[in-house]
Amino acid sequence: MTKGLVLDPTARRDDDVASPGPDAGVLAGKRIGFRLDQIWRSWDWISEAWADRLRVAGAEVSFWRSCGRSGEEGDRMARELQAWLKTIDVAIVGLANCGSCTGWTVRDAITAAGSGLPTVAVATKNFEAFAHEIAARGGRSGLRVHVLPYPLNERERDDVLQVAETHFHPLLATLGASLEARKDAA
């Protein structure tokens, strides 16, 4: 009789990080990075709208666009991501809006959070549970995930910009961020 070992696919990792990591705090004066992808025009529109609001509040904003993720190009992308993460103080990573996009969004967010940056992965509602599952399997069950409505990419630009407006302050709350320092009561 042959014996086999059955692994429990629902088990938690021993090295899991259940903490969301540091809060972003006051964003004025900080360098905020948006990780984009190749597919979702809606995420481009939302990140541009959020970036404009962050700049007005005194933050510096940069963008990094993920491209091919396998072979030599994938190795180059991994190096570029690591280099870009060293130039920012806060990472906003999106968009988890399909299976592979969710995987790469969460993977890049885990990389950012693992480097000590306040980080949020942005997902659409249909991929929220999947984003959390991938984060847990990646050893970062506490990863912050901000959820946008689904469908999103099929909407007209004005509708998407309204989503950006509606979700800006909730995004800040997810990050543990504010635009300016609170004034203590005297």
Structural domain includes residue 142: yes
How would residue 186 be classed by pLDDT, with cut points 50, 70 and 90? very low
List the end-to-end C-alpha distance of the chain, in Å, as a whole number.
78
Q: Is the pLDDT of residue 127 over 90?
A: yes
Structural domain includes residue 18: no
For the chain, what is the mean pLDDT? 94
Structural domain includes residue 179: no
d(Cα 154, Cα 159) in Å, to the nearest integer?
10
Is the separation of the CB atoms in 180 and 26 below 8 Å? Answer: yes
How would residue 181 be classed by pLDDT, with cut points 50, 70 and 90? confident
Q: Is the pLDDT of residue 184 over 70?
A: no
pLDDT tens digits, one per residue of 84-109? 999 999 999 999 999 999 999 999 99
Structural domain includes residue 54: yes
- CATH code of residue 122: 3.40.50
- Structural domain of 140: 34-174
H or E stretch at 122 = strand 119-124
| DSSP 8-class letter at 126 | G
d(Cα 10, Cα 31) in Å, to the nearest integer?
37
How would residue 182 be classed by pLDDT, with cut points 50, 70 and 90? low
Structural domain includes residue 180: no
Structural domain includes residue 133: yes
Structural domain includes residue 44: yes
Angle at 170 between CA 89 and CA 116, to 5 degrees: 25
What pLDDT does 9 receive? 66
| Domain count for the chain | 1
Cis peptide before 149 (omega within 30 of 0): no
Within 10 Å of residue 159's Cβ, how many Cβ atoms? Answer: 13
In this prediction, what percent of the chain has a pLDDT beyond 90?
86
Structural domain includes residue 185: no
